[in-house]
Amino acid sequence: MSDDEDIRYIKRQKVHYGSLESQVKSSTEESIKAGIQSGNINIFEGDHFDLEEHVNAQREEMLAEFERRKRARQILVSTDDSEVKVKLRELGEPICLFGEGPADRRERLRQLLASLGEEHFAKEKKEDPVKAEEKKYEQKTWYHQGPQGLKKARYWLAEYSLPRAETRLEAARKYKQIPESQKNAKRQELHRFLRSISNQCSQIGDTRPISSCQISPDGKILATSSWSGLCKLWSVPDCEPIRTLRGHNHNVGNIVFHPEATLSLEGSACCLASCAADGSVKLWSLESDEPVADIEGHGNRVSQIAYHPSGRFLGTTCHDCSWRLWDLEAQDEILHQEGHSKAVYCLAFQCDGSLVTTGGLDSFGRVWDLRSGRCIMFMEGHLKGILSVDFSPNGYHIASGSEDNTVKIWDVRQRKCVYTIPAHGSLVSRVKFQKENGNFLVTSSYDNTAKVWAHPGWAPLITLAGHEGKVMGVDISPNNQYIVTSSWDRTFKLWAAE
């Protein structure tokens, strides 16, 4: 084929493909027009899709989402479900969705607060000074002017406590020199003993709930108090009734033994003390059904009482936001101490006799130096009221049980909480350290159980289950042979190793 023929062939092909292209184009235009007329295609003149602008918009949305999640992580939301519901109600949101649990509700509130933006946080910051002022008010300590006998009592307490502290520290130094292997062997033996504890005796103690129980210093008598207004003495371990103490006209909340009762103190002396919801406090002997003396001066409910290790002083906690110290020898109130913003519910003395710790329904605890009158430690950490406190025999550990179902261990030397035990499924009613060396801790709860915890480590050793109602009181015998629990089901139980 010549060059001219090639050129003519190429021109014919161009014409052919050009006619095909025009046919396809016209066919496409006709299809688009038909689509527009039928309403299936909407094309407006001048519209276009900017891919770069679309990507930038997506990037901004992602950055905004990351920023929101970051704010959500930084928001502190209360773990109290009732407070979460109140906050949701304030924001106009439903307090509960179908199938939503407390954790889901808390996360929903967190995400909601994060989505509200900076204006809400600015508002919260403006409210912070008010909350700080309220917190400062709650931590404020008030002092009453004491009587003339208070100064003499403080001198006496210093002279009493310093030699005991020296003896305790010397014993601690000797204990530290014992090889660790020997200590571990003794602990393991104790743990085996505790794990073998079972219910040895169960006794119906009264017609109404038994609020507290305590074993005498010689381990042979058990005292119980009841909401019927009666206090009773029982033999240990037979659980046979010895005497019924009549005198209270209202619910008795607590009964305690004098530190020297059944030991060096005569039976006709004031060996026990009890308190009731009407504010009455009575002293009892072991030989009479009637009270030996009354302590008057409380205008509100007295929740708990405790003897000072010397036996000379009696501490009482009152619902008028104060606790008081009574000199039983002088038969007078020597200290009326405020400092809690709500009712003071419990107190415990240190083994030396120099310190006392109090717990209140304001969820705070305080440690007071009886020699100077100062509050030396503020215990902040519980979410609800503190119902029980106890000093360890080592002199520096404090256990506190609360309505928030936890037990916290505090160190007076460090002035802080060193451990939190998620102890029970309901509020913790009592905490008790082993009286000899504090190698274990017993707690009771409204979940119908009592539990034994090892120290150190605070590992659970055994759960004492058997009551049909709330366990309201617990105590350990001085020889560590028995644990006693009292309950809402009107019974008390004696637990011992098989």
pLDDT greater at residue 164 or residue 54 = 164
pLDDT band at 15 (very low <50, low <70, confident <90, very high): low
HSE (side-chain half, CA atoms, 13 Å) at 345: 23
Query: Is 35 within the bounds of a domain?
Result: no
- 240 and 112 share one domain: no
Cis peptide, bond prior to residue 456, ω within 30 of zero: yes
Q: Could you tell me if residue 425 is inside a domain?
A: yes
More reliable by pLDDT, 497 or 220: 220
107 burial via Cβ count (<10 Å: 0-12, 13-18, 19+): middle
Domain of residue 357: give its range: 150-497
pLDDT score of 125: 47
Q: Compute the residue count for the chain.
A: 498
| pLDDT at position 95 | 83
- Cβ-based neighbours of 439, under 8 Å, separated by 6 or more: 187, 190, 454, 455
Task: Judge whether residue 45 has pLDDT over 60.
Answer: no
d(CA 380, CA 353): 23
Task: Give 141's contacts (C-beta < 8 A, 6+ positions apart).
Answer: 338, 339, 366, 375
CB atoms within 10 A of CB 164: 17
90 lies in the same domain as 209: no
Residue 305 has which token pair? 């009482």
Amino acid at residue number 458? W
Query: What integer best gives the mean pLDDT of the chain?
Result: 86
Q: What is the DSSP letter of 146?
A: P
Contact 441/453 with Cβ under 8 angstroms? yes
CB 276 within 8 A of CB 250: yes
Q: Does residue 29 belong to any structural domain of this protein?
A: no
Interatomic CA distance for residues 91 and 119, integer angstroms: 14
Beta strands in 176-235 (DSSP E): 197-204, 210-215, 221-226, 231-235
Same domain, 376 and 330: yes
pTM above 0.85, yes or no: no
pLDDT in tens, 329-355: 888 899 999 889 899 999 999 999 999
Number of H helices, E strands in the chain: 7, 28
Whether 418 and 350 map to the same domain: the answer is yes
State mean pLDDT over 377-381: 94
Same domain, 108 and 185: no
Asked whether residue 262 falls in the same domain as residue 375, the answer is: yes
pLDDT at 217 over 90: yes
Residue 481 included in any domain: yes
pLDDT of residue 81: 80
Decide: 138 and 378 in contact? Cβ < 8 Å: no
Check whether residue 78 and residue 189 sit in a common domain.
Answer: no
Nearest Cα residue to 169 out of 365, 444, 413, 424: 413
Beta strands in 171-263 (DSSP E): 197-204, 210-215, 221-226, 231-235, 241-245, 252-257
200 and 308 belong to one structural domain: yes
Q: In this structure, are 381 and 259 located in the same domain?
A: yes
Identify whether residues 108 and 158 lie together within a single domain.
Answer: no
pLDDT digits (tens, 9 = 90+) for 117-153: 645 544 554 555 555 555 555 556 666 677 888 999 9
pLDDT tens-digit profile of 454-492?
988 899 999 999 999 999 999 999 988 999 999 999 999
**What's 458's domain CATH number?**
2.130.10.10
Specify the pLDDT at position 158.
96
Give the model's pLDDT for residue 295: 92
The residue among 72, 96, 116 that closes a domain is 116
The verdict on 246 and 337 lying in the same domain is yes
Instruction: Please count the structural domains in the chain.
Output: 2
Is 129 among the domain residues? Answer: no
The answer to whether position 121 is within a domain reads no
Whether 424 and 299 map to the same domain: the answer is: yes
Give pLDDT tens digits for 146-159.
Answer: 788 899 999 999 99
Most confident residue range from 34-43, 45-54, 107-116, 372-381: 372-381
Let me know: does 395 contact 352? Beta carbons within 8 Å.
yes
Residues 280-321: tens digit of each pLDDT: 999 999 999 999 999 988 888 999 999 999 999 999 999 999
16 is a domain residue: no
50 has pLDDT over 80: no
Query: What mean pLDDT do residues 95-109 have?
Result: 84
Q: Is residue 323 part of a domain?
A: yes
The one-letter amino acid code at 156 reads W
